[in-house]
Amino acid sequence: MSGEGENIVAEPLVYLNGEFLPYEAARIPVEDRGLQFADGVYEVVRYYDGRPFRMQQHLARLVRSAAGIELPLPPIEEIRQAMDALVERQGLRDATVYLQVTRGTAPRAHGLLPDPTPTVIAIARPARVIRPRPPLRVVTMSDDRWARCYLKTTALLPNALARERARRLGADDAIFVRDGFIMEATAANVFLVMKDRLLTPLLTNYILAGITREAVLELAASEGIPASEEPVPAHLIYQADEVFITGTNSELGPVVAVDGRTIGTGQPGPIFLRLLAAFDVAVHGAQPVGTGPA
């Protein structure tokens, strides 16, 4: 999506199993189960002005994801400190930290070992606050993922393939549709605005409980914008006044076309803009947003 992947530091520091290593020195064994079976969970945390946004919620979701695949986690405080240290040591202010925990290394076998030693990897890269958010064109796509999308696992191949298919169709992202209902985008949740009311798919096992989604629902409540979480039939999306996606990377992203059909006026809508302004205040306090250095 536009804006992502910019400002890549060639050789960021890597946290690996308790050590901070130069990029080239950070290696994992070939039989790591993360590689062999996509046997792992992850989190992505955004830092603004050197401070993590909703770290507690990210860590709580990490614990839920790990429990969901029966993966024992190292002490959560260690994980938090590792992420903070990566940001601090590299002098980053606005950053995205990826944390992955796999079930560690074992001779290749489907069955789980009783006492695995997890592999813990974290990497921080600079992020840039991009305002205005670039308008997005999306395409709907049949959801061919598994039934445990509420767990944030590293098994992202269906998401990656859907994103690529969307790109080949000239779009920025795909929105998954299952049994006629909107689920989520490849790395974000979906909101519709219908007659000044926010609508977002109910949390089920088929979507991730996005931290940004939750933040936006809270912001809507404080802004006095009515919102409901309910099953969203796919056909409604074309009739929406506004559509936007939410995610740690995309923050709030305005969707201006779905399957080649223009949404609303074809511009980011007023409710989206109000919520984005409220989001900026929430992440930066009273500071203005958008023009500072990366």
Ligand X SMILES: Cc1ncc(COP(=O)(O)O)c(C=O)c1O
Residues acting as catalytic residues:
152
> Residues with Cβ < 8 Å from 189, sequence gap 6 or more?
200, 201, 207, 208, 210, 212, 213, 245, 246, 247
Binding residues with ligand X: total (CB under 6 A): 13
By CB under 6 A, tell whether 153 contacts ligand X. no
Residue among 248, 264, 268, 275 that touches ligand X (CB under 6 A):
248
CB of 60 to ligand X, least distance (A): 11
Smallest gap from residue 213 Cβ to ligand X (A): 6
183 binds ligand X (CB under 6 A): no
Contact 284, 248 (CB under 8 A): no
Q: Which of 40, 118, 126, 210 binds ligand X (CB under 6 A)?
A: 210
Q: Which of 124, 193, 208, 237 binds ligand X (CB under 6 A)?
A: 208
Q: Of 16, 28, 44, 63, which lies in the binding site for ligand X, with binding defined by CB under 6 A?
A: 44
Name which of 105 and 122 has its Cβ closer to ligand X.
Answer: 122
Q: Name the burial class of residue 176, with classes exposed (0-12), middle (13-18) and buried (19+) by CB atoms within 10 angstroms of its CB.
A: buried
Judged by CB under 6 A, the residue of 33, 137, 213, 284 near ligand X is 213
Neighbours of 288 (CB within 10 A): 10
CA 98, 163, 141, 145 dihedral sign is: negative
Stretch that binds ligand X, among 100-108, 115-123, 180-188, 283-291 (CB under 6 A): 180-188
Smaller CB separation from ligand X, 33 or 213: 213
Which CB sits closer to ligand X, 32 or 143? 143
Query: In this structure, what is the dihedral angle of CA atoms 237, 275, 172, 156, given to the nearest 10 degrees?
Result: -90
Our finding on whether 199 is near ligand X (CB under 6 A) is no
Question: Rule CB under 6 A: is residue 189 a binding residue for ligand X?
Answer: yes
The 3-state DSSP class for residue 134 equals: coil
Position 184 contacts ligand X (CB under 6 A): yes
Q: Does 211 bind ligand X (CB under 6 A)?
A: yes
CA distance readout (Å), 33 to 41, 67, 147, 148, 150: 11, 17, 21, 19, 21
100 contributes a contact to ligand X by CB under 6 A: no
Angle between helices 270-284 and 211-223 (to 10 degrees): 110
In the chain, the N- to C-terminal Cα span, in Å, equals 18
CB of 56 vs ligand X, minimal distance in Å: 13
CB of 114 to ligand X, least distance (A): 30
Q: Which is nearer to ligand X, 65 or 212 (CB)?
A: 212
CB-nearer residue toward ligand X: 69 or 112: 69
Hey, what are 170's tokens? Answer: 């000239």
Give the CA count within 13 Å in the CB-facing half-sphere of 168. Answer: 6
Find the angle CA(102)-CA(106)-CA(108) to the nearest 5 degrees: 105
Strands (E), the chain: 14-16, 19-21, 40-48, 51-52, 95-102, 119-126, 136-142, 173-178, 181-185, 189-194, 197-200, 227-229, 242-247, 251-258, 261-262
Binding segment for ligand X (CB under 6 A), chosen from 24-32, 70-78, 86-94, 240-248, is: 240-248
Binder of ligand X out of 126, 247, 264, 269 (CB under 6 A) = 247
Residues that bind ligand X (CB under 6 A): 44, 184, 187-189, 208, 210-213, 246-248
